[in-house]
Amino acid sequence: MKFGIDSLLASPDLLKMLEGKRVSLVAHPASVTEDLTHSLDALAACDSVNLTSAFGPQHGLKGDKQDNMVETADALDPVYNIPVYSLYGEVRRPSAEMMDSADVFLFDLQDLGCRIYTFVTTLLYLLEEASKAGKEVWVLDRPNPAGRPVEGTLLLPGQESFVGAGPMPMRHGLTMGEMGHWFIHHFGLDVAYRVVPIEGWQPAKSPGFGWPDNRIWINPSPNAANVNMARAYAGTVMLEGTNLSEGRGTTRPLEVLFGAPDLDARAVHAEMTRIAPDWMKGCALRECWFTPTFHKHSGMLCHGLMIHAEGRFYDHNAFRPWRLQALAFKAIREIDPDYPIWRDFPYEYEFDRLAIDVINGGAALRQWVDDAAAEPGDLESMAAQDEQEWKAAIADHLIYPAG
């Protein structure tokens, strides 16, 4: 199997298309070749590639920024003496000056297959600005480690944000190359666009189901430590909009269903089993204890549930992390109707909406959790309809096998 960067470097025809053009790279720490050379270094070593700038998304080109709304400054690369522009600092959308730095923009970001992962929105912003400036965008495609399954309600009109680029569900089932095609179609963009595809990607194939087992996992962001996290993330990311710990400040962030010093995880698990046992399939849940060294509940012993969507416990077609996380919230609400689940704080530069609503692209999930009369079937029917609508919308933009 070859990822997009490897296919580009191995293709004299593609490299020749870059000759005589100024080239920029959008990258992060997981932007590496099959031999683990960073894409910036690999491209700089090509005589036919004239690198004139680079861009870093949220967490930075080096991936050293830990949390949401921790910004990165522009810099000068000390090795190649080119500007490295931050797309998570003074701006999140490339400025005209930044777009003037190159003719072709190579987008080489490893995604997690989740709408809220901000690299999705960074791609949209780059395409929009390239359309205005008459620039080319090439996506050097990488696998979606969560595979093809689609899950969640569609983001509602007016709910767009940096974690909500458009009307897609939480778990979108696309690669970044495919997402670019959908963006161009949905938003009517006029941009020179090319996908350098993955060779041999089979998203339905065991055991990786999206992530090839012969490729090294490198954190695309500080808290994306492994494939288990990538699979669970479409659910566990919702914890960022709550007072429950998502495991930041531990070695397994965003792999826990929740953690808190004042909850009985065993009781929550039992209530989840009572409410909607079908939503718990495809993984194992294990009772755990942890003390975060920073972030929510820092220094306090938390009781929680660990998600294991891996090994013999993982069923790719049965695992539904968005529903699983919603179920955990519902169980907590059933056990303690007054428990302060939702956290009110500025989230990804949104100051007037509850973070959980920003994350979900609307209030439907929160309202379902807080409505004592709401049943699992109510959320199921809403999500199922949106999921089918999304599958129909993306069908013509798939590059790889649908299953």
In a domain, 142, yes or no: yes
Strands 256-260 and 284-290, sheet pairing: unpaired
pTM of structure:
0.96
Query: What pLDDT, on the 0 to 100 scale, is given for residue 63?
Result: 60
Q: Which residues contact 134 (CB under 8 A, 6 or more apart)?
A: none
Same domain, 205 and 231: no
Same domain, 197 and 246: no
Same domain, 339 and 235: yes
In a domain, 114, yes or no: yes
In DSSP notation, 111-153 reads --SBTTSTHHHHHHHHHHHHHHHT-EEEEE----TT-S--BSP
Average confidence (pLDDT) over 69-79: 82
Q: What residues make up the domain containing 125?
A: 4-220+391-397
Same domain, 272 and 213: no
pLDDT tens-digit readout, 262-316: 999 999 999 999 999 999 999 999 999 999 999 999 999 999 999 999 999 999 9
Among 171-180, 278-287, 344-353, which is the least confidently predicted range? 344-353
Domain count, the chain: 2
Average confidence (pLDDT) over 122-146: 98
Work out the pLDDT band at 72, boundaries 50, 70, 90.
Answer: confident
In a domain, 161, yes or no: yes
Dihedral over Cα of 230, 92, 99, 134: its sign? positive
In a domain, 137, yes or no: yes
Same domain, 151 and 77: yes
SS3 assignment, position 213? coil
Query: Which CATH number belongs to the domain containing residue 322 in this structure?
Result: 3.90.1150.140
Same domain, 77 and 204: yes
* Partners of 289 in beta bridges: 303
Q: Which residues contact 38 (CB under 8 A, 6 or more apart)?
A: 27, 29, 31, 32
Query: Which CATH number belongs to the domain containing residue 13 in this structure?
Result: 3.40.50.12170
SS3 assignment, position 305? strand
In a domain, 256, yes or no: yes
* Partners of 26 in beta bridges: 55, 107
Same domain, 286 and 197: no
Query: What pLDDT, on the 0 to 100 scale, is given for residue 350?
Result: 83
pLDDT above 60: residue 65: no
Same domain, 196 and 256: no
Tokens 């416990």, residue? 313
Same domain, 76 and 105: yes
In a domain, 380, yes or no: no
pLDDT above 60: residue 60: yes
Same domain, 239 and 158: no
Same domain, 143 and 233: no
In a domain, 378, yes or no: no
Same domain, 261 and 178: no
In a domain, 402, yes or no: no
Q: 92 vs 60, 336, 357, CA distance in Å?
A: 12, 39, 21
Q: Which residues contact 282 (CB under 8 A, 6 or more apart)?
A: 309, 314, 315, 316, 317, 318, 319, 320
